[in-house]
Amino acid sequence: MRYAEVYLHRQLVPHGGLAGHTAVVFDVLRASTTAAVALQAGAEMLVPFADLESMTAFRAGLSADLAGRCLLAGERGGLAAPGFDLGNSPGEFTAERVAGRIVLFSTTNGTDALERSEEADPVYFGALVNLSALAELMAGRTRRENEELALVCSGTELSASLEDMLAAGMLLERLGAREGGWEMDDGALAVLAVAAQWRGRETEAMRQAIGGRNVAALGLNQDIEAAAAVDSVPVVPRLVTDWGALAGTDVLVKAGG
Amino acid sequence: MRYAEVYLHRQLVPHGGLAGHTAVVFDVLRASTTAAVALQAGAEMLVPFADLESMTAFRAGLSADLAGRCLLAGERGGLAAPGFDLGNSPGEFTAERVAGRIVLFSTTNGTDALERSEEADPVYFGALVNLSALAELMAGRTRRENEELALVCSGTELSASLEDMLAAGMLLERLGAREGGWEMDDGALAVLAVAAQWRGRETEAMRQAIGGRNVAALGLNQDIEAAAAVDSVPVVPRLVTDWGALAGTDVLVKAGG
């Protein structure tokens, strides 16, 4: 038997409750999508921050050498914030811009969701763009008896997010959760229902969802298209805290195959 | 335009955030089902408590006359607790037992969900058994322009509950939310997906859900059957705090037609 529990919003994750689990955190619009794209484009690692202030303070504390390798990605009102190198749109994270760089980026909901999940091991950052790569990584683990899988939908400050639930449900489907041999909680049953209704209509789902409406209102329709491009990025970000000069900090690196 | 927001778990309700809304709180297994059944059987009112201790303390503070009209409903390990008149199974709330009585009953999740929702007006306690009665009450309200509807799924201490999401989704369907003219949040879209998958298979949904598995493990399969009996009870409990001798306390009474 394999076990799957799905947290429909990060606030429902019990603090410290994910020890012993394999976790996948979803923040499809836009942090987990952008992280996968950036690592595929050759970024050495990404460091998530809850706000721009903590990001700039972090860089100010680095050695000149390390600080010089950092790019700052963050937005105010949907565009790259003054003094920042990049916004948060996946399309900005090209090899030309990010290859070999350490990308500091802001994502309020994603950072909080990753922190709440960090007792799990491994912790992956999942999206629609890397579902197949995720499923491949997980398949080995879920073949183990008694593997406990926790999927965390980041949501927004105020609400669950449809696109996170859709991605979680589609990942469960790819892991074979509809075919038996899994014990699932009610959150898992709910995201499977969301996947049954919206799979194949990912762009439409996001346009109806609050996150997508907000992104569209900023004129960033291409971000929705990028986030809805299922399996377009064969890279999975993994959370580690023991990365060389940044040991002790939550950073995202490319997961091994 | 009408507005519907759905909280997939009571912990997601912002404190004080439901002022100006019409709210429906769902705790299908078993509090909201039992409350509807008890009021139909002629109970004068119900008073929800988070635990047995606060319930007995409350009765101890009443006048002898009022205390004598009270019945205590609560369970330990699934059966009526020692010294209590009733358990929490809907089937126990017959006219013979409860007509004309004030029923004090324990429901940890339901009590918390009602408290978090009490700035709304009205606040209804909804279940599958009274969906049609609820929809009829709400239809008048949702014909008003700019009516804001908040549906609150109580869930358990640890997780969202499939049966609460199913009931919320089926209520939205009956209010015409699939036919346009509604602005919905992602929670609403999620429960509509749950309803699309499980409508007509309510008993099966509960048998797969954690709450139903727990109830079945207690040998209380008849409680699942009772809770899954869509439209079997034409009565809606409404939360009021200004009820005669119990003014200032949250009580549930039969909603007007």
DSSP codes of every residue in A176-198: TGGGSSEEE-HHHHHHHHHHHHH
pLDDT at A123: 97
pLDDT at B161: 98
Chain A contact for B105 (CB, 8 A cutoff): no
Give me the residue from A185, A193, A210 closest to B186, CB to CB: A210
Which of B26, B165, B186 has the highest number of chain A CBs within 10 A, making it the mutation to test binding with A?
B186
Interchain proximity A208–B192, CB inside 8 Å: no
pLDDT at A141: 66
**What is the number of residues in chain B?**
257
What is the full DSSP assignment across B16-68? TTTTT-EEEEE-TTTHHHHHHHHHHTT-SEEEEESSHHHHHHHHHTS-HHHHH
- Percent of chain B at pLDDT > 70 equals 96
Give the neighbor-by-neighbor strand order of the sheet with B251-254.
Answer: B70-73, B102-106, B45-49, B251-254, B237-240, B123-126, B22-26, B148-153, B2-7, B182-184
Which ipTM did the prediction report?
0.94
Averaged over B210-233, what is the pLDDT?
96
Contacts (Cβ under 8 Å, ≥6 apart) of B36: B125, B127, B129, B130, B233, B235, B236, B237
pLDDT at B46: 97
Chain B environment of A165 (Cβ under 8 Å):
186, 190
Judged by phi (left if over 0) then psi (alpha if -120 to 50, else beta), residue B218 lies in alpha
pLDDT at B257: 47
Chain A contact for B142 (CB, 8 A cutoff): no
DSSP state of B127: -
Chain B contact for A172 (CB, 8 A cutoff): no
Contacts (Cβ under 8 Å, ≥6 apart) of B16: B119
Give me the residue from B5, B14, B162 closest to A190, CB to CB: B162
pLDDT at A77: 73
User: CA A187, A190, A191, A195: dihedral to nearest 10 degrees?
Assistant: 170
Which of A186, A197, A199 has the highest number of chain B CBs within 10 A, making it the mutation to test binding with B?
A186
Interchain proximity B190–A11, CB inside 8 Å: no
- Encode pLDDT of B53-65 as tens digits: 999 999 999 999 9
Averaged over B23-36, what is the pLDDT?
97
Verdict on whether the full-model pTM lies above 0.80: yes
Structure tokens at A148: 């406990």
Chain B contact for A159 (CB, 8 A cutoff): yes
pLDDT at A143: 59
DSSP state of A5: E
Q: Which amino acid is at B63?
A: S
Cβ–Cβ < 8 Å for A111, A243: no
Mean pLDDT of chain B: 93
Please tell me which residue of chain A has the smallest CA distance to B209. Answer: A186
Closest CA to B157 of B15, B57, B27, B24: B27
CA distance A185 to chain B (A): 6
Q: Which helix (H) or strand (E) holds A111?
A: helix A108-117
Those residues of chain A that have pLDDT short of 70 are 78, 141-145, 257
pLDDT at B66: 94
- Encode pLDDT of B231-246 as tens digits: 999 999 999 998 888 9
Cβ–Cβ < 8 Å for B190, B12: no
- Percent of chain A at pLDDT > 90 equals 84
Which stretches does DSSP call E strand in chain A? Answer: 2-7, 22-26, 45-49, 70-73, 75-76, 79-80, 102-106, 123-126, 148-153, 182-184, 237-240, 251-254
Closest CA to B30 of B221, B188, B238: B221
pLDDT at A144: 62
pLDDT at B16: 81
Preceding amide of B234 cis, omega within 30: no
Q: Which helix (H) or strand (E) holds B6?
A: strand B2-7
